[in-house]
Amino acid sequence: MAKLNTRLQNKVAMITGAGGGIGRASALKMASEGATVMCADINTQAAEGTVALIEEAGGRADAIGLDVSDGDQVSDAIAETVSKLGALNILFNNAGVGGDLDWDQTIAINLSGVFYGLDHGAKYMAEHGGGVIISTSSIAGLQGLVSPGGFFPAEAREGKLAYIAAKHGVVGLTKQYALDFGELGVRVNAIAPGYIQTAMTAPVFEDRAAEDFLRGLTPIGRLGQPEEIAAVASFLASDEASFVTGVTIPVDGGYSAR
Ligand SMILES: NC(=O)c1ccc[n+]([C@@H]2O[C@H](COP(=O)([O-])OP(=O)(O)OC[C@H]3O[C@@H](n4cnc5c(N)ncnc54)[C@H](O)[C@@H]3O)[C@@H](O)[C@H]2O)c1
């Protein structure tokens, strides 16, 4: 008999980058499994749009504007989540930018932003009965990437290299926080998505040849959907993953298997 999945019942989740793509899909998924979700995004209106979708579907959510590259804002957002929604059981450090910004900006959002979430989140959870942290790395956090035109073009090189460095850094931080907070009841994992159809990758996929090239590198033979990342995030957030910590799970259609 089909049963409603309520494995996140009575949990409060904060998801960064919840205004679109993987973050929005994860907010919808976790809310559908019973969590109350704080949708955090630098684009507050987009976060509110996600809240509206969750509420339309009968779930519970709230929105907050947040720039993850500012550690104080991350700390304040956690405090606001607790004061408005009553707890913080799950934190998904998912916000990120592609390789279009310069080195410092990319590192500030994609690496420091995750560090602030891990640090403030793990400390809060350790003092309040434990919890689960998930961060979004990338296949670019597991290996170097090849691009359709060969090595990264000169004009985009700095941001792309910063992206690789930041996403590898997320894998390392995930291991260290898992070690340091394991006995304090905090599980810490990451997800390494392959090529997923979101606003971030839309410009790449507009180029048919580039899309064919990247699809050709993916053994499953297609690009991924945000819901396919959300499914793994929700699993990691749940007690079904109670013995899983310190890992980065590739969700990439087999991309990293070669
Ligand atoms: N799409 C892919 O193929 C892919 C692959 C691997 C990893 N990722 C990672 O997945 C995560 C989500 O990306 P996506 O594809 O859903 O992209 P997206 O652009 O659809 O969503 C990213 C969200 O993050 C928000 N954001 C950007 N900067 C922020 C900041 N400083 N503070 C708070 N929010 C901010 C944006 O407003 C947006 O809503 C990113 O970390 C990205 O690096 C994506």
Q: Looking at ligand 1, which atom is closest to the CA of residue 18? A: 39
As for how many domains the chain has, the answer is 1
Q: Which of 22, 72, 109, 137 to mutate to test the pocket of ligand 1 (most atoms within 8 A of CB)?
A: 22
Q: What is the pLDDT of residues 6-36, one digit of tens each?
A: 999 999 999 999 999 999 999 999 999 999 9
CA of 182 to the centre of ligand 1 (A): 27
| Residue with CA nearest ligand 1 atom 1 | 196
Q: What percent of the chain has pLDDT over 90?
A: 90
Residue 7 lies in a domain: no
Residue 217 lies in a domain: no
Residue 2 lies in a domain: no
CA of 117 to the centre of ligand 1 (A): 15
pTM greater than 0.85 (yes/no): yes
CA of 32 to the centre of ligand 1 (A): 21
Is the model's pLDDT at 77 over the cut of 70? yes
Q: Looking at ligand 1, which atom is closest to the CA of residue 22? A: 16
| Residue with CA nearest ligand 1 atom 17 | 200
CA-to-CA separations, 43 to 31, 46, 73, 121, 225, in angstroms, rounded: 20, 5, 14, 21, 22
Predicted confidence at residue 142, as pLDDT, reads 98
Predicted confidence at residue 2, as pLDDT, reads 54
The residue ranking higher by pLDDT, 220 or 258, is 220
Task: Count other C-beta atoms under 10 Å from residue 145's C-beta.
Answer: 18
Q: Looking at ligand 1, which atom is closest to the CA of residue 43? A: 37
- Is 116 marked active-site? no
Average pLDDT, the chain: 95
Question: What's the CATH number where 134 sits?
Answer: 3.40.50.720
Predicted confidence at residue 155, as pLDDT, reads 72
2: which residues sit within 8 A by CB, 6+ positions away?
none
Cα–Cα distance, 89 to 224 (Å, whole number): 28
CA of 128 to the centre of ligand 1 (A): 29
Which residue in 163, 177, 195, 255 is the catalytic one? 163
Q: Which of 70, 114, 198 to mutate to test the pocket of ligand 1 (most atoms within 8 A of CB)?
A: 198
Predicted confidence at residue 189, as pLDDT, reads 99
Residue 213 lies in a domain: no
Q: What is the pLDDT of residues 151-184, one digit of tens each?
A: 667 777 899 999 999 999 999 999 999 999 999 9
Residue 4 lies in a domain: no
| Tokens representing residue 155 in the block | 């004009």
Q: What percent of the chain has pLDDT over 70?
A: 97
CA of 109 to the centre of ligand 1 (A): 10
| pLDDT tier for residue 5 given thresholds of 50, 70 and 90 | confident
| Tokens representing residue 180 in the block | 């340091």
Residue 210 lies in a domain: no
Residues within a 6 A CB radius of ligand 1: 16-17, 19-23, 41-43, 46, 66-69, 94-97, 109, 136, 138, 193, 195-196, 198-201
Label residue 209 exposed, middle or buried (CB < 10 Å: 0-12, 13-18, 19+): exposed
Predicted confidence at residue 151, as pLDDT, reads 62
Residue 149 lies in a domain: yes
Give the domain extent around 87. Answer: 12-193+226-250
Residue 98 lies in a domain: yes
Task: Count other C-beta atoms under 10 Å from residue 218's C-beta.
Answer: 19
Predicted confidence at residue 201, as pLDDT, reads 93
| pLDDT tier for residue 135 given thresholds of 50, 70 and 90 | very high
Q: Looking at ligand 1, which atom is closest to the CA of residue 193? A: 6
